[in-house]
Structure 1
Amino acid sequence: MDYKQELITTIHDFGCNLDALVTRLTRFSEESPTAVLIPALYEELKRPALTTIRDHLADCEFVKTVIVCVNAPTVTDYAKTLQFFQTLPQKTLIIWENGPRVTQLLADVRERGVDLLKFKGKGLAVWLGLGVASLSADAIALHDADIITYDCSYPLKLLYPLLDKEFGIDFNKAYYTRLGNYPQSFHGRVVRLFIAPLLNVLREVFGEKNYLRYLSAYRYPLAGEFALTSDLALHTRIPANWGLEIGLLAEVYRSMPSKRIAQVDLGIFDHKHQPLGEDVNSGLQKMCRDIFRSILRTLTETEQVVITMEHIHALRVKFRREAQSFTRKYFIDARFNDLLYDRHQEEIAIECFEQVISHAGEQYFNDPVGAQIPDWTRALAVMPDLRERLIYCVQQDVAQVTAQVLASTLTPKMVNPLHLESSGLPAETMGLKNDAGIPISR
């Protein structure tokens, strides 16, 4: 039995009574509302994982609001996204992240001195969704749209530690065993073959720094599944590159004492398997590049570590030997559990990651400042009603789609006009009108 505790609180699953947790969390959520945020690309609607997520969320009575921040190429794609999620019983808000109305709103913010339009991708989607969620939810769970093994226990385990006030937890991160099927094998190469050995050699080179001890306490630091309080959401800068997960942990490190941070076991977990990439600017190599730069920057910011190119060379040399020692351990673990394990492919990944250390180190010296989206308190300082305006943009987007459905420019019944109410803000109170200027009623 694994009872091990870390610098942060580790919540194990010893066969917990999920039904009892659901009952308590449902009761807690009546006084402390909850939200689930899903950043997504439109293409993910075509994959079975998101259908599984939607169908399980429909059974989660303890989730009061679902927010999807979607990057959709066209208004038709946005309409199909609305249709896809309209079966959810919860209040549901579909933010068209790259739509013209949201883009114009961010342009207005830029005119007031805060440039958000230069940020793209998942980071911006997370930022937008957290801001909207903080209006109505005390606790917000976030997860990706490609989780193959998803069920109701995921949002349950993420949210519960934040709502049980005896715990005193403000941030809860998932950890899990990443196993792929057909054939069954280890996934999670970046965590296993890059971050784990890298943290070991960083401690050898720079000593036992508090930040390194903190990162090492996370069993799966790249998990895209976490939950946080609305207050923390408003005061957190969101990284705008592939180092989002590790950069977010750095933000939590600056903001929270370790006793208010937890990690929870989600069990066996699988999602989309990323390619290794052709070079340091693609695939998992790009991810490792951004992660390494984030760690170096945070070491300098929080631990006053002066980093030189000699350090980078030493890290590269030590990394290969340390990573290779991990492959021997993984081989034994895999063989014992009858898992497929290709040591040659693992070594290829290590060689690629070793190259990343050199390239990322050089990039860090040329540009040590990372790409981080200003926190919501900064944006609200220049536009205090930004969150409400963002919701109004969403309502206008839905109204446009509804008008087009009524005009038969899209497939009939693609969008249910009643779904306008799903955000919790009735259409008439928002003053919504269709393209002809006619008010839309419920």
Structure 2
Amino acid sequence: MDYKQELITTIHDLNCDLSRLEGHLIQLSQTSPTAVIIPSLYEELERPALASIRDHLKQCAFVNHVIICLYADTQDKYTRAVQFFESLPQPTLILWENGPRVTGILETLRDRGLDLLHYRGKGRAVWLGLGVASLMADAIALHDADITTYDRSYPLKLLFPLLEKEFGIAFSKAYYARIGNNPRSMHGRVTRLFVAPLITSLMELFGYRDYLRYLNAYRYPLSGEFALSSDLALNTRIPANWGLEVGLLAEVYRNVALKRIAQIDLGVFEHKHQPLGTAANKGLQKMCRDILLSVLRTLTETEQVVLTADHIQALRVKFRREAQNLTRQYFVDARFNDLLYDRHKEEITLECFEQVILQAGQQYLEDPTGTQIPDWTRAIAVMPNLREQLREVVSADMAEARASAGFQFQPVPQLQSLTGSLSASN
């Protein structure tokens, strides 16, 4: 059994009774509504993972609203997405983040002095989704669209700590084991081979700074699955690059007391993989670059650490040794569990990540500014009814899509309490 607690609260799955938790969460959600946000490219609709997620969400009576933040190139693709999610029993909004109506609202915002149009990717999708969800829900869960091991225990586990008032939790973060099949092997390369040795190396260089201790407490700091209160959603700046997950943790660190932060075990977890990349601005190497820039920036902002070129060189040396030590430990763990482990390939990967440290470190010394989307409180100060306008244009987009597809919206029936047990295997 693993009972270990960290600087933040760790909620283990010690064979918990998920059916009991589900029944309680259904009751809690009647007075404290919940929402699930899924940022998605249109291409995810053509892969099996999102269809499975949709089908599991149908059974989640504790989820009161679903918001899909969709990036689609054409009206036809957006219409197909509306049809794809039409079977969900929950009130569902398909937010066409790059559609003409949403773009028009962002143009108005720009004309009033706040330009968000130059932000792209998952960061903007998350920002838009959080704004709309905060109108309707007290607790908001967010996860990616490519999870292949998904079941309804995922949103249940993420949302429950926020709605159980005795816990006092405002932010919950998933952790899990990334184990792939065909062949069975360890995944999660950026967490295992970059973030873990990076944090250890930074602590050896600068001491046990509070921010580094906080990051080190997360068992899977790069998980894309989390839940937060609507108040926190409105007061959080969203990173607009591939450092979104670790950058979001920095925002939580600034805004939330440690006793109100939790991480929760989702078990064995898997989704699609990014390529390593052939340069520092591609694939996982780009992700590592953005992560390092975020961590260095937050160290300076919160811990007053002044970085020099000598620090970057020392970090590179320490990182290599720490990462090499970890590959030996991963090898032992993998072999014991009969997992395929190519130690040579792992070493090649960490050598690529090592080069990223030099390049990203130099970039930070030249320009330490970041790319974060202003929080919603600032946007509302510019346009007080911004969230309401977004919700209205989403409804208009969906009505137009339904009319063009020749089908009518049916009123959503009241969700009833679900029976049957949840699977605890994932």
- TM, length-normalised to structure 1: 0.92
CA-CA distance at 1:399 after TM superposition: 2.6
CA-CA distance at 1:369 after TM superposition: 0.9
Q: Does 1:371 align with 2:362?
A: no
Give per-residue Cα distances to partners, 1:47-93, cap 9 Å, x unaligned. Answer: 11001100000000000000000000100000000000000000100
Query: Which SS does the other structure have where 1:306 is aligned?
Result: coil
Query: Which SS does the other structure have where 1:227 is aligned?
Result: strand
Moved more, 389-398 or 193-202: 389-398
Give per-residue Cα distances to partners, 1:316-357, cap 9 Å, x unaligned. Answer: 011111100100000000001100000111011100000000
Q: Does 1:418 align with 2:384?
A: no
CA-CA distance at 1:393 after TM superposition: 1.1
Q: Are 2:82 and 2:401, in contact at CA under 8 Å, matched by a contact in 1?
A: no
Q: Are 2:82 and 2:402, in contact at CA under 8 Å, matched by a contact in 1?
A: no
Q: What is the distance in 1 between the residues matched to 2:179 and 2:402?
A: 42
Partner of 2:109: 109
Q: What is the distance in 1 between the residues matched to 2:357 and 2:241?
A: 17
Query: Which SS does the other structure have where 2:95 is aligned?
Result: strand
Q: What is the distance in 1 between the residues matched to 2:405 and 2:162?
A: 41
In the TM superposition, 1:71-86 aligns within 5 A as 71-86=71-86
CA-CA distance at 1:403 after TM superposition: 3.4
**With CA pairs under 8 Å and 6+ residues apart, which has the higher RCO, 1 or 2?**
2
Q: What is the distance in 1 between the residues matched to 2:306 and 2:67?
A: 42
Q: Does 1:261 align with 2:261?
A: yes
In the TM superposition, 1:332-371 aligns within 5 A as 332-371=332-371
Q: What is the distance in 2 between the residues matched to 1:337 and 1:97?
A: 43
Q: What is the distance in 1 between the residues matched to 2:29 and 2:395?
A: 25
CA-CA distance at 1:95 after TM superposition: 0.2
Partner of 1:210: 210
In the TM superposition, 1:76-155 aligns within 5 A as 76-155=76-155
Q: What is the distance in 2 between the residues matched to 1:342 and 1:112?
A: 54
Partner of 1:171: 171
- Unpaired runs of 5+ residues, structure 2, are 415-426
Query: Which SS does the other structure have where 2:409 is aligned?
Result: helix
Give per-residue Cα distances to partners, 1:261-284, cap 9 Å, x unaligned. Answer: 000000000001111011100000
Moved more, 181-190 or 397-406: 397-406
Q: What residue identity is the alignment partner of 2:409? A: L
Partner of 2:297: 297
Q: What residue identity is the alignment partner of 2:145? A: A
Q: What residue identity is the alignment partner of 2:282? A: S
Q: What is the distance in 1 between the residues matched to 2:231 and 2:154?
A: 22
CA-CA distance at 1:242 after TM superposition: 0.1
Q: What is the distance in 1 between the residues matched to 2:79 and 2:196?
A: 43
Give per-residue Cα distances to partners, 1:142-188, cap 9 Å, x unaligned. Answer: 00000000001000000000000000000000000000100000000
Give per-residue Cα distances to partners, 1:368-414, cap 9 Å, x unaligned. Answer: 111000000000001000011101111221232233234xxxxxxxx
Q: What is the distance in 2 between the residues matched to 1:347 and 1:398?
A: 49
Partner of 2:223: 223
Q: Are 2:141 and 2:159, in contact at CA under 8 Å, matched by a contact in 1?
A: yes
Q: What is the distance in 1 between the residues matched to 2:168 and 2:278?
A: 45
Q: What is the distance in 1 between the residues matched to 2:194 and 2:109?
A: 38
In the TM superposition, 1:194-209 aligns within 5 A as 194-209=194-209
CA-CA distance at 1:137 after TM superposition: 0.1
- TM, length-normalised to structure 2: 0.96
Q: What residue identity is the alignment partner of 1:400? A: E
Task: Report sequence identity in percent.
Answer: 69
Q: What residue identity is the alignment partner of 2:333? A: D
Q: What residue identity is the alignment partner of 2:408? A: P
Q: What is the distance in 2 between the residues matched to 1:275 and 1:185?
A: 16
Q: What residue identity is the alignment partner of 2:268? A: I
Q: What is the distance in 2 between the residues matched to 1:87 and 1:384?
A: 33
Q: What is the distance in 1 between the residues matched to 2:109 and 2:353?
A: 39
Partner of 2:386: 386
Partner of 2:421: none
Q: What residue identity is the alignment partner of 1:308? A: T
Q: Are 2:33 and 2:64, in contact at CA under 8 Å, matched by a contact in 1?
A: yes
Q: What residue identity is the alignment partner of 1:179? A: I
Q: Once superposed, what is the RMSD of the aligned Cα atoms?
A: 1.2
Q: What residue identity is the alignment partner of 2:24? A: R
